[in-house]
Amino acid sequence: MLAKLVGWMLLGVVRLLTGAQARWYGCPPKAEQRIYFANHQSHADLVMIWAALPEELRSITRPIAARDYWANTPFKRWITTEVFNAVYVERGNAPPAATAPPAVPAAPPERIEPSMEPETPLPAQLPLVAPEPAVETVPPPASEGPDPLAPLIEALTSGDSIIIFPEGTRGHAGEPQKFKSGLYTLATLFPDVVLVPAWIDNIQRVMPKGEVVPVPILCSVTFGAPLQVEAGEERRPFLDRARAAVIALRDV
Amino acid sequence: MNQFLRSLTPTQQVAALFVIVFGLLTIVSVVTLLVGFRERRNAAHDEAWQRELQDFRKLLRTSWFMVAIFWIGWALGETVATLLFGLIAFLALREFITLSPTRRGDHRSLILAFFVVLPIQFILVGTARFDLFTVFIPVYVFIAIPVVSALANDPSQFLERNAKLQWGIMVCVYGMSHVPALLLLSFPGYEGKSAFLVFFLVFVVQTCMVVQHLIGRRFAYSAAEGRPPLQRWLAREPFAPNVSRSFNWASWGVGMAIASAVGALMSFITPFRFGQALAMALIACVAGSMGHLVMKALKRDRGIPNWGQKGGGVTGANGLLDRVDALCFAAPIFFHSVRWYFGV
């Protein structure tokens, strides 16, 4: 009850500040099981896409929240679990973070990147990945640490839709960073779930890093045409294609 | 009839005005609904006809919405009316800022603009501190904003960014705040009827904009020969094609003339005499339509045809600023002219 009330109030505030407009370009808002994947510019992305979804979809769609940010105070924890109904992920980096981004060589050596290569299908895949940067081919120690995708897999198995940010970390400006492979893993694990790209516009202007008071600036979320993994499509080409699909929505 | 209207108290007169306006809207809506059932035989015509009807319905919805807002504002008193205009100013400024690029260093200035300047300005209006509210933004805020920006330690395009923000505040907040200020002007022998003054301003400015829009649409400029003289005279080459493709002095003049005439005819609801009403309407229309042109130049610079465009708006803007920009420019000029001339 309280959660519902807070949800409404929050929705009102978000609408007043940003408009929270949803633009359905490639697909209608429909109650089928979906994975929405979007660009990531701010922690408020989660709130934004939550607010943009229609009421009926909001209740069956669970955003992914990084535990280190969204669970560090009791209030944030409460609001993420009760209002947003979010799924927590640990991030060495971020939700579907599989491998350390090649851009961060300065990472502390003792950090163990959790496994992303599913224990499940496609054992024949490894050799195909050979031309990838070395980091990605290192067979990750599957046994160490919990699988960061496990909560997502659980949510999908129980029939919910999810919202993920495949960049892992927040981008700084302009183009989104390279997508992490979690999206591909989930897509191959759940071939029946519809993959919907989304572009969140302007949110970084509402609340830049390090500020606490949001500024009223109109934002929108554009949803594009669904994607799927083609037969025999490899990880990197698919991820690049997915990223291009997200970027393409910027100028629709 | 006239005798009867004069015998009513001011409140009853305003109520009668709303009854008339709502009545007209209801009639038009019912007619539109009925006409919508009609089917044209020619399929191609039918489609164009349906589209036009769709446009008209949108316009009608907007009108209903605006009249309802005005009615609520009037019925609940001046405070609520001021709050309503404050909300409109907020939404308009939101649209303006969305479409002018800001940098991270502007964040604090934006917070100042939205959450400090805007409320203070409308509080000053609500409490009728006229001498302070006319100088608060042009004097105090115009010093405060660049200071906050400078403290943000980001010198790139400093003047440009600040000019944009100050301009936005000037148009959306300062301009808009003069509309509810009209409610608080006290003319001798005109107590309780200030709502008419707001109605007068809004109606006259909207008439002028609509007339210009209709002329621009009906007589779009084309180089074709052999058109009737009236059409040729009205459909001149646009005067400033890079800014507005529809603006020319002929259609502007017609808009001015019609709107001023309407204003003069409405003189009986204002404290003005016939000639005064004509002059006041003319002043408001000139300010409003020129302001609209200025905003068009701004929009062109941003590369957008409407504040809420891009097919539904990538920004989610819904074009509120397009509807109120003329009012934002007309209101301060009208307000100060009235105050200066009548010494109220």
Counting one residue from A and one from B, how many pairs have CB atoms under 8 Å apart? 54
Judge: B115–A21 Cβ closer than 8 Å, yes or no.
no
By the 10 Å C-beta count (0-12 exposed, 13-18 middle, 19+ buried), A183 is classed as buried
Handedness of CA B304, B69, A220, B51 (dihedral sign): negative
Instruction: Provide Rg for chain B, Cα atoms.
Output: 22
Residue holding tokens 């500020």?
A: A211
Sheet containing strand A21-24, edge to edge, reads A21-24, A220-223, A194-201, A34-38, A161-164, A61-66, A87-89
Place of tokens 């009548």: B342
Does residue A46 sit at the B interface (CB-CB below 8 Å)? no
- Do residues B81 and B173 share a domain? yes
Contacting residues of A for B94, CB less than 8 Å apart = 17, 19, 216-218
* pLDDT score at A20: 82
Spatial distance between the Cα atoms of A141 and B19, rounded to a whole number of angstroms: 77
Torsion sign across C-alpha atoms B231, B236, B237, B240: negative
Long-range pairs of B265-274 with CB within 8 A, sequence gap ≥ 24: B266/B200, B266/B203, B266/B204, B269/B13, B269/B17, B269/B193, B269/B196, B269/B199, B269/B200, B270/B196, B270/B197, B270/B200, B271/B187, B271/B189, B271/B190, B271/B193, B271/B197, B271/B342
- For the CA atoms of chain A, what is the radius of gyration? 18
Are B82 and B71 members of one domain? no
Residue A226 in contact with residue A27, Cβ under 8 Å? yes
Buried b / exposed e over B4-14, threshold 16 CB at 10 Å, is eeeeeeeeebb
Which residues on adjacent β-strands are paired with residue A62?
A162
At which residue do the structure tokens 């400006």 appear?
A: A173
Regarding whether B341 and B194 lie in a shared domain, the answer is yes
The answer to whether ipTM exceeds 0.85 is: no
CA dist., res. B27 & res. A96, Å (int): 58
Q: Is A222 on the interface with B (CB under 8 A)?
A: yes
Instruction: Identify whether residues B4 and B126 lie together within a single domain.
Output: no
Q: How many domains does chain B have?
A: 3
**What is the secondary structure of B264-320 as a DSSP string?**
HHGGGGSSS-HHHHHHHHHHHHHHHHHHHHHHHHHHHHHT-SSTT-SSS-TT---SH
CB B101 within 8 A of CB B93: no
- For chain B, counts of helices (H) and of strands (E): 15, 0
Say what angle helices B118-126 and B176-183 make with each other, to 10 degrees: 20
Tokens of A170: 């927040």
Among B41, B75, B109, the domain-final residue is B75
Tokens of A133: 């940067």
CA closest to B317 among chain A residues = A218
- Name residues of chain B where pLDDT drops below 70: 1-2, 39-45, 217-236, 304-318
B231 and B301: one domain?
yes
| Residue B192, C-beta contacts closer than 8 angstroms, at least 6 positions apart | B9, B10, B11
Mutate to test the interface with B, among A215, A223, A247 (most CBs of B within 10 A): A215
B65 plus B162 within the same structural domain: no
Domain edge (last residue) among B164, B184, B204: B184
What is the per-residue pLDDT for A125? 40
Buried b (16+ CB within 10 A) or exposed e, B284-308: bbbbbbbbbbebbebbeeeebeebb
B35, B87: one domain: no
Q: How far apart are CA B189 and CA B39, in angstroms?
A: 54
Query: pTM for the complete prediction?
Result: 0.79
Query: What local confidence, expressed as pLDDT, does residue A238 receive?
Result: 92
Is B223 in the same domain as B154? no
Q: Which DSSP state fits A114?
A: P
B94 in contact with A, Cβ within 8 Å:
yes
Say whether both B66 and B92 belong to one domain. no
All residues of chain A having their beta carbon less than 8 Å from the beta carbon of residue B83 are none
Contact B104/A at CB under 8 A: yes
Residues B206 and B335 in one domain: yes
Confidence at residue B288, expressed as pLDDT on a 0 to 100 scale: 92
Helix (H, G, I), strand (E, B) or coil at B169: helix
pLDDT of residue A146: 67
The burial class, CB within 10 Å (0-12 / 13-18 / 19+), for B44 is exposed
Which residue in chain B has the smallest CA separation from A207?
Answer: B107
CB contact under 8 A, B111 and A215: yes
Tell me A164's DSSP state.
Answer: E
B54 with B93, same domain: the answer is: no
B178 and B222 assigned to the same domain: no
Residue B198, domain extent: 188-344
pLDDT of residue B282: 94
**Boundary (domain end) residue, out of B133, B158, B184:** B184
Closest-CA distance, B304 to chain A, in angstroms, reads 13
What do you get for the CA distance between the two ends of chain B, in Å?
31
Mean pLDDT (10-residue bins), chain A, 252 residues: 89 88 86 91 87 89 88 90 88 47 40 40 40 42 64 90 85 77 90 92 82 86 90 89 90 74
DSSP symbols for B82-102: HHHHHHHHHHHHHHHHHTS--
- Asked if A20 lies within 8 A of B110 by C-beta distance, the reply is no
